[in-house]
Structure 1
Amino acid sequence: MALSSTAKNRTVWGVRILLALAFGAAGSAKLAGVAQMVATFEAIGIGQWFRYVTGGIEVAGALLMLVPATGLYAGLLLGGTMVGATLSHLIVVPGSPIPAIVLGLLCALVVWHNRPAQFRKN
């Protein structure tokens, strides 16, 4: 049984709100200089400026996720960030890449739901 259009929209909006909360919190922690975030970016080895850039991208993406017309762009921006986070966890930073993978897949769902008309069947 397929979901109705209304049920799909509500589900995707629930995912968007969840992503906005998750990325808003993570980005804010990076920008605030929470010790765990400072240590994580120290382990990456690029410099703390990268923590600020990543935090800014996450907060901006969280805000974009809440604007109806910008869901596609938010999903692409944050999904790309999660690709980088997954690679960081696999190569440099200790810890599981699973949270980044799950968030990336949820971003992909938002992108798929908001894809342009020329990429839809019909």
Structure 2
Amino acid sequence: MKNPIFIWIVKLIAVAILVQTLFYKFSGAVESVYIFTKLGIEPFGRIGSGIVELIASILILIPRTTLLGALLAAGTMFGAILSHVFVLGIDVKNDGGELFTLAIITLICCLLLVYNQKYKIVDLLRLKI
């Protein structure tokens, strides 16, 4: 995966999905409040996950920190997927599984970015970003 155009498309898809959900989290949209209430972590989980996703989005866009942002977002999306599977259900408030699908797409994009920058993992472990 050395094609920089492909990598930027993957980055932009992940970031677009992450940033698009921030409005709902930070504005206290009914669906977002419902989700985090059902998970038992409203409002701190909703606002906290929004902050984490915002930070991950910024890190993904900066070439030097893409790996860190992708790992952060992948972990967040993995948690979202597990929440859907075990607590919320795939279809939340009749969304047709849209949130679940977006979480999977974002996770796949982030895993592609991690794979693309796997050579940096050792440096990340040494905190040489």
Q: Distance in 2 between matches of 1:26 and 1:118?
A: 28
Q: Could you say what the CA RMSD is over the residues aligned between the two structures, in angstroms?
A: 1.8
Consecutive unaligned residues of structure 1, counting only runs of 5 or more, are none
Aligned to 2:112: 109
Give the C-alpha shift of residue 31 in structure 1.
1.5
**Amino acid in structure 1 at the alignment position of 2:35:** T
Q: Distance in 2 between matches of 1:34 and 1:60?
A: 21
Number of positions where the alignment pairs a residue of Structure 1 with one of Structure 2? 114
TM-score between the two structures when normalised by the length of structure 2? 0.80
Q: Distance in 2 between matches of 1:117 and 1:98?
A: 29
Contact 1:29 1:37 in 2 (8 A): yes
Matched, 1:100 2:103: yes
Select which of 10, 22, 39 maps to 2:17.
Answer: 22
Residues 15-70 of structure 1, C-alpha deviations (whole Å, 9 max, x = no match): 10121111011123212211111111111112311101000011111111111111
Q: Distance in 2 between matches of 1:73 and 1:20?
A: 14
Q: Which is bigger in relative contact order (C-alpha 8 A, separation at least 6)?
A: 2
Aligned to 2:36: 41
**Amino acid in structure 2 at the alignment position of 1:34:** A
Contact 1:27 1:57 in 2 (8 A): no
Aligned to 2:73: 78
Identity %: 28
**Amino acid in structure 1 at the alignment position of 2:8:** W
Consecutive unaligned residues of structure 2, counting only runs of 5 or more, are 92-96, 123-129
Select which of 54, 70, 82 maps to 1:59.
Answer: 54
Residues 63-102 of structure 1, C-alpha deviations (whole Å, 9 max, x = no match): 1111111110111000000110010000111324333222
**Amino acid in structure 2 at the alignment position of 1:111:** V
Contact 1:27 1:59 in 2 (8 A): yes
TM-score between the two structures when normalised by the length of structure 1? 0.84
